[in-house]
Amino acid sequence: MIGRLNHVAIAVRDIAAASRIYRDTLGARVSEAVAQPEHGVTTVFVELPNTKIELLEPLGDGSPINKFLERNADGGIHHVCYEVDDILAARDRLLATGARVLGSGEPKIGAHGKPVLFLHPKDFCGTLVELEQA
């Protein structure tokens, strides 16, 4: 069911500083920062030959990454995002197995303008999983 690895997300406190590390120290191609108010984060994408790194900084008091950064003061890997062909079919199949789909269960439009859903980390080897429709 899951396809390509779309991105690995890293939560950070300071997205400008993290962008400099990826651009200037690691020599990667780094996008501009984009506020994603529907998701409570600001994103930067680092383009790699085979996938992307998504840098995430909290946006607003209710950001879903606030608690993660309280627990991980230096930041860290927050989620992995896999592509699926049909997100509603994937969701229904996962729900039938007992997996927990986060939020309302309805896809939101993600950073790439495509529908996304999140799956509870406790159901997936301690890793928060994002699904993005390809």
Interaction residues for ligand LP2KCY5N, span 68-107 (CB under 6 A): 68, 78-79, 81, 102
DSSP line for 4-66: -EEEEEEE-S-HHHHHHIIIIIS--EEPPPEEETTTTEEEEEEE-SS-EEEEEEE-STT-TTH
Stretch that binds Co ion, among 13-21, 31-39, 91-99, 124-132 (CB under 5 A): 124-132
Running DSSP on this structure, what letter comes out for residue 67? H
- Look at strands 76-84 and 108-109 and give their pairing: unpaired
Interface with Co ion, residue 83, by CB under 5 A: no
Among 52, 87, 129, 130, binds Co ion (CB under 5 A): 130
User: Could you confirm whether 70 is annotated as catalytic?
Assistant: no
Task: Look at phi and psi of residue 121 and say left if phi exceeds 0, alpha if psi is from -120 to 50, else beta.
Answer: alpha
Q: Kindly tell me which of 28 and 121 has the beta carbon lying closer to ligand LP2KCY5N.
A: 121
Residue 111 three-state SS: coil
Interface with Co ion, residue 119, by CB under 5 A: no
Stretch that binds ligand LP2KCY5N, among 12-20, 24-32, 65-73, 89-97 (CB under 6 A): 65-73
Return the one option of Co ion, ligand LP2KCY5N, none that residue 65 interacts with (CB less than 5 to 8 A, by type).
ligand LP2KCY5N
Residues carrying an active site annotation = 130
